[in-house]
Chain A
Amino acid sequence: KQEVTQIPAALSVPEGENLVLNCSFTDSAIYNLQWFRQDPGKGLTSLLLIQSSQREQTSGRLNASLDKSSGRSTLYIAASQPGDSATYLCAVAQGGSEKLVFGKGMKLTVNP
Chain B
Amino acid sequence: NAGVTQTPKFRILKIGQSMTLQCTQDMNHNYMYWYRQDPGMGLKLIYYSVGAGITDKGEVPNGYNVSRSTTEDFPLRLELAAPSQTSVYFCASSLIQRYSSERLFFGSGTQLSVL
Q: Please list the residues of chain A having a beta carbon within 8 angstroms of any beta carbon in chain B.
A: 31-32, 34, 36, 41-46, 49, 51, 89, 91, 93, 98-100, 102-105
Closest 4 CB pairs of A and B: A46-B103, A43-B106, A104-B42, A102-B43
* CB interface residues, B 48-100, toward A, < 8 Å: 48, 50, 58, 90, 92, 96, 100
* CB interface residues, B 5-22, toward A, < 8 Å: none
State whether A98 and B31 are in contact (beta carbons under 8 Å apart), knowing that A32-B101, A34-B104, A44-B90 are contacts in the complex. yes
The reply to whether B109 and A42 form a contact with Cβ atoms under 8 Å apart is yes
The reply to whether B105 and A89 form a contact with Cβ atoms under 8 Å apart is no
B residues contacting the other copy or chain, number (CB 8 A):
24
Q: Please list the residues of chain B having a beta carbon within 8 angstroms of any beta carbon in chain A.
A: 4, 31, 33, 40-43, 45, 48, 50, 58, 90, 92, 96, 100-109
- Cα-based distance from A89 to B106 in the complex (angstroms): 13
Q: How far is the CB of B112 from chain A (nearest CB, A)?
A: 14
State whether A51 and B100 are in contact (beta carbons under 8 Å apart), knowing that A43-B108, A100-B45 are contacts in the complex. yes
- Cα-based distance from A104 to B50 in the complex (angstroms): 25
- Cα-based distance from A100 to B48 in the complex (angstroms): 11
The reply to whether B42 and A45 form a contact with Cβ atoms under 8 Å apart is no
Which of the listed residues B43, B48, B100 has the most CB atoms from chain A within 10 Å of its own CB?
B43
Chain B residue numbers with a CB within 8 Å of A51 are 100-101
